Amino acid sequence: MLETSFRILLLSIMAGVSPMAIVATLAVLASRRGRTNGIAFLIGFAIGQTAALAIAFLVGSAATEREGDSGMAIVELLAGLALLALAWAQRCRPEPPPAAGPSRTEAVLGRLQGLRPVTAFAAGALLGVGGIKRLSITLVAGATIAVADLGAVESLTLGAGYILISGALVFVPIAVYVILGAHADALMKVAREWVMANERRLTFYSTAVFGVLLTADGLVRSL
């Protein structure tokens, strides 16, 4: 149980370090109805992340049912290699020229600021499911819980911990904004500008480091 808990903690931190998650959250909070949209976004994110983890648990159970720890090693290796490939693609992607206009991220964030609660909920759900990085790590987390052969209460506790920690960059800003309201606008603006200025670097290093960690752990498990 202790080893599994440590692995889930590490995986949840891996999944949670996402510049896009914090920037998208801050953009939603900067919309016209920041509190309402933020709460809708948060609920959608929690549901999306819960659904993704539940599916990952079922897939992980099926993938590791016969092979056990060796099957878990294969899952980790594939996820780690996928993250390394993603990091390499990000590294090789050229910097856009200054006169190229707003970046893809800036264009997406511009649309997020005009959200209504229903669309904020949908955007949060999509973010909760995640892209390649979050999905890969969630798959490993679900398989880790499945192969540990824990009781229902322990499995649910680890699943809830994974959701809370991996979603901290969504949950915490929204909680702060709901409590402080407009008083938090300046803080949110500074945080958003800093993350956007360093997004490319943060995304590459987090993806590469976590890819190496997953790949190494998979190799160790397979020995």
pLDDT in tens, 10-37: 888 888 887 778 888 888 887 777 788 8
The answer, yes or no, to whether residue 101 has pLDDT greater than 60, is no
* 90 is a domain residue: yes
Nearest to 140 by CA among 44, 71, 38: 71
What's the CA angle centered on 192, arms 46 and 134, to 5 degrees? 40
| Greater pLDDT, 185 or 141 | 141
**Residue 21 lies inside a defined structural domain of this protein:** yes
Mean per-residue pLDDT for 30-52?
89
- CA separation for the pair 105, 102 (Å, rounded): 8
Range from 4-8, 19-23, 98-102 that averages highest in pLDDT? 4-8
Report the SS3 class of residue 124: helix
- In-domain check, residue 209: yes
Most confident of 86-100, 165-179, 182-196: 165-179
Residue 181 falls within a domain, yes or no? yes
User: Quick check: is 100 in a domain?
Assistant: no
Domain residues for the domain of 151 are: 2-95+105-222
Number of domains in the chain: 1
Structure tokens belonging to residue 51: 């659904």
| Lowest-confidence pick of 94-98, 192-196, 212-216 | 94-98
CA distance 71 to 221: 9
| In a domain? residue 118 | yes
Classify residue 201: in a domain, yes or no: yes
pLDDT per residue as tens digits for the range 105-134: 566 666 666 678 898 899 899 988 887 778
Which segment of 91-95, 121-125, 206-210 scores lowest on mean pLDDT?
91-95
Least confident of 41-50, 65-74, 200-209: 65-74
